[in-house]
Structure 1
């Protein structure tokens, strides 16, 4: 199992941003956006776990153990975790009386900020500065 690899969290953040951005606030309520995000990230999490297990079977030709299935799902759990900050932002916006558009923008903005943070951390790890970091 790959540990400490942020790829799944980054992927999850992109997935959440795409789902939130695709929703039409004129025909969707905030809770429907949250539900769509939750279902989507769960499906993608299971799909990624499944693909890991099947891929490993193709490589090894052996039957997977329960531990291997759990490890595959655990490896991809950050896809689901990545939905939490944008959905918290959506919930806070709704609780503060924001419109669906406002709540959607809060969730999308949170996703963009998280992606910018990931990019900045990666750039710093490469010792980029100034415009190259931007």
Structure 2
């Protein structure tokens, strides 16, 4: 019979897998917030004139990947060289830039999956675009809440941070409604 894994001692965190560490470090970052706002803006603009869910999805994915690659490149170049009296190699700089920029790429996954539902005709194209936009607002709210929770803020401040972060998505929706 295999031995059971001992429970972590009181006060000690449970060990994380490398994947969960990367996701935790990439989620609720400025890059993730920026990525969701970028996606919301792209959905709003590309979905204005009766575009299909697939067209909006393709526009979002291509643009997000290009922005992510540019962010990754800029972070690698900026981090390479002399830093705090030591040399940072290109590989180390790339790894750090990759970890920081991953949130921008990951943030597009949830609203993009909603757009795929429209592409698969599970949801009407027009409804899909609105659902994807409101999903961006929800993701922003969660990102804001997590960011303030990580900093140990009391729950009213977490809620306020959540609402403030979500407000960026609401502004994009209001702009889309006015343009449409």
Regarding TM over 0.5, the answer is: yes
Higher relative contact order (CA 8 A, sep 6+): 1
Q: Is the 8 A contact 1:46 1:73 kept in 2?
A: no
1:47 aligns with 2:74: no
Match of 1:91 in 2: 116
Q: What's 2:106 paired with?
A: 81
- Of 53-62 and 7-16, the range deviating more from structure 2: 53-62
CA offset digits 1:55-78 (Å, max 9, x no partner): 223654968433432432232122
- Seen in structure 2, the aligned counterparts of structure 1 residues 98 and 57 have a Cα distance that, compared at 3 Å, is same
Query: Which is helix-richer, 1 or 2?
Result: 1
- Contact between 2:77 and 2:93, CA under 8 Å: does it hold in 1? no
Name the Cα RMSD after superposition.
2.9
- Corresponding pairs, count: 132
Stretch moving more, 23-32 or 62-71? 62-71
Q: Which among 140, 150, 154 is matched to residue 127 of structure 1?
A: 154
Gaps of 5+ in 2: 1-21, 164-180
Normalising to structure 2: TM-score of the pair? 0.60
SS at match of 2:47: coil
Residues 1:25 and 1:101: Cα distance change in structure 2 (over 3 Å): farther
Whole-Å Cα distance in 1 between the matches of residues 90 and 80 of structure 2?
11
Indicate conservation of the 8 Å contact 2:54/2:115, yes or no: no
Is residue 2:29 matched to residue 1:4? no
